[in-house]
Structure formats: C-alpha cells, structure tokens
Amino acid sequence: KRKLRVLSGVQPTGSLHLGNYFGAIRNWVLTQHQYESFFCVVDMHAITMPYKAKELSEVTYKTAALYLAAGIDANTSKVFVQSHVKEHAELTWLLNCITPMNWLERMIQYKEKARKQGENVGVGLFDYPVLMAADVLLYQTDVVPVGEDQKQHIELARDIARRFNDQFAKRARPRVLREPNPLIQKDGARLMSLEDGTSKMSKSAESDFSRINLDDDPKLIEKKIKRCKTDSLKGLTYDDPNRPEVRNLLTIYQLCTGKSKEEVIAECADMNFGTFKPLLTDAIIEHLSPIQKTYNELILDRAYLDEVLTKGAAEAREVAAATVSEVKKYMGF
C-alpha cells in the first residue's frame, strides 16, 4: 500500500517567521516520515506581489536552508524549488481553462491582497489559487498541512480536481486528479501580529516589529518583545476579548516552551506584561537557538544546498511529468 502523500510550501518573500514555523514547518517536520513528503519553496507564488528581483534567488536559498535547519530531512523528503519543475506552470495553464472566474473572485486572501494593491493588481495575484491547486494536484497529494489562512485554497483545489475529473475523465479509476485534504494544526494554526494581536503575522506585513523571524538574533528578539503591544493590567488570560494580544503572546509562549495550555494558564494567571515578557523572550530565544545554529552553517554552503535542491527537483519532476501527461491526454492533446 502506498504511503499517503504530503505537499506544502512557503513563499520566498522574506525571512520565515514564527507563524510560518508553528503554523506549517514544524508540523511538516513532525509528520514527514509518516508520509511521502514534498516540500517546495514556491518562488512563482512570490512574484504575484511586487518584489525585488535582485533578492528572489537569495531568499529562495534562505527559505530552503531554514526548512533543513528546522528539521526537514532531505534524504526522505523531496525538497525543491517550484520554478525548477516546469510542470507547475504547465498544469496551471491547463487548469486555468477549466476554472470559472467567479470561483477565484471569492478568495478571501485575494480580496485582502488586492485591496492593498489598488490599481496594480496583477493577473498572477488573481490566479494564485490555481497555481496552488496545480502545486498540490501535480503530486496526487492526499494531505496538505497548512495554516488556517490557506484552507479556502485547498477547498478550491478540491473543486478544480473534481471539475476536471467530471468534465474530462468521468470514467477513469482511480480518478486522474486526486482531491487533497487540508491538515490544520489547532495550536498555532494562526499566530497574529505582535503589534495589534488581530492581523495575521505575515512576511508581507510592512513592519518588521509585527513578527519574530526565525533568523532574528537574541538582541532583536528581546527588542521586538519589549515593543509589542502592552498594558499594565494584572492577570494574563487567553480569552479576554479586549486583549487579543495577550492570547497571541501566551500561545507563542506555550508553543516555544512545549507546555500545555493549562500549565500556561496557571503560570500566568497573576502575571503582568512586566514579569511575562522576559520569560517569553527567553523561551523564544531558546527554542530558536538550535535552528539558527544549523541555519548559519547551511546558508554558507551553497554547493550543498544546490545539490539538495537539484536532487529534489529531479524526484519531484518524475511525479509531476506523469500527471501532466495524463491530464493532457484527457484534455485531447
């Protein structure tokens, strides 16, 4: 019996942050051996918003190095860069031609990003979810571990797969395109901005003080935690609707220490930010320290990274090319 397949990716649009880590990458690491795993750096997604061409390749290397430093095992998982496997672009076009516009118009992330872009919204940004569907469907993926924010995109990928199968390959068994399932981790599924506690912690948020990056040094982590939204009230709880920032920081503390929610509730019930912030700072620094040590070595070894990514792309392409060839056959090419 074949192992279930997992695929996930992060855009090389900036340093990875704690949201990417606890919402995605850490779960990849924990489950990678249970599945046949595909982890890509989605550079073609990264160019759907304004970006610096000079930095794209550097950030792509950094992202791949952080995957490995966080514990992705390149011997068993396929680690690769999306643009190295041309089938991602090819399947996107084929799927574009069977995807109704109004399915994309409903996408929340598109609406949020488009609002910020004003008149300069590119076709690529609109089409982002179809590229993501292609990423997933190319590998006959069973499971996609993502943050809460990506759930709608996985549902769209399912809809597109079903539409293709019904329209072009009604009788084919197994179905030509497999419908993927999202795997959403409850704890840390969505970390929020350090500055307001209500918007998503994101690489694309303007302020660097809204997030902790995985490669922030201890001094910077301390500075960011000192700066994040604070009051002087006593008693830190998860469920104060007027202080969403408290829940967010307690969640980060819980994730970094590995304590249970109950333990954190008991520990912090009588604290204020003055006593809590140093604890939180230390917990983050300690959790990130081994990852940063490995990352700092890997990022200097381009030959090794190239070797890993070349091997990963070749392995990925084998599967991807077979899917595209099937799809084209059924579409009449």
| Single residue of 5, 6, 20, 245 touching ligand ADP by CB under 6 A | 20
Cβ nearer to ligand ADP, comparing 92 with 165: 92
Site map 183..202 versus ligand ADP, x via CB under 6 A: ------xxx--------xxx
Establish whether 86 is a catalytic residue: no
Instruction: Give the residue, chosen from 5, 6, 7, 10, that forms a contact with ligand ADP under the rule CB under 6 A.
Output: 10
Q: Which is nearer to ligand ADP, 176 or 224 (CB)?
A: 224
According to DSSP, residue 3 is labeled P
Question: Taking the CA of residue 199 as centre, how many other CA atoms within 13 Å lie in the half-sphere pointing to its CB?
Answer: 14
Place of tokens 């981790």: 185
Q: Considering only CA atoms, give the Rg of the chain.
A: 21
Output 288-292 pairs: Cβ under 8 A, ≥24 positions apart.
288/214, 288/216, 288/221, 291/66, 291/69, 291/70, 291/214, 292/69, 292/214, 292/215, 292/217
Closest approach of ligand ADP to the CB of residue 113, in Å: 10
Nearer to ligand ADP by Cβ, of 212 and 309: the residue is 212
Extended strands (E) in the chain: 5-10, 36-41, 78-81, 143-145, 181-183
- The first and second tokens of residue 208, run together, are 């660097």
Stretch that binds ligand ADP, among 127-135, 147-155, 238-246, 323-331 (CB under 6 A): 147-155
**Residues sharing a CB contact under 8 Å with residue 237, sequence separation 6 or more, in sequence order:** 246, 247, 250, 265, 268, 269
> Is 111 annotated in the active site?
no
Task: Centre a 10 Å sphere on the Cβ of residue 118 and count the other Cβ atoms it contains.
Answer: 7
Report the SS3 class of residue 79: strand
Q: Looking at beta carbons only, is 147 or 312 nearer to ligand ADP?
A: 147
13 binds ligand ADP (CB under 6 A): yes
Among 32, 140, 150, 323, binds ligand ADP (CB under 6 A): 150
Which of 113, 151, 223, 259 is labelled catalytic?
113
- 224 included as an active-site residue: no
| Alpha carbons 217 and 199: distance in angstroms, whole number | 24
For residues 203 to 242, the per-residue mask of contacts with ligand ADP, x marking binding by CB under 6 A and - elsewhere, is: xx--------------------------------------
Catalytic residue (one of 78, 203, 224, 277): 203
What residues are labeled active site?
A: 113, 200, 203
Q: By the criterion CB under 6 A, which residues form the site for ligand ADP?
A: 10-11, 13, 19-20, 23-24, 146-147, 149-150, 189-191, 200-204
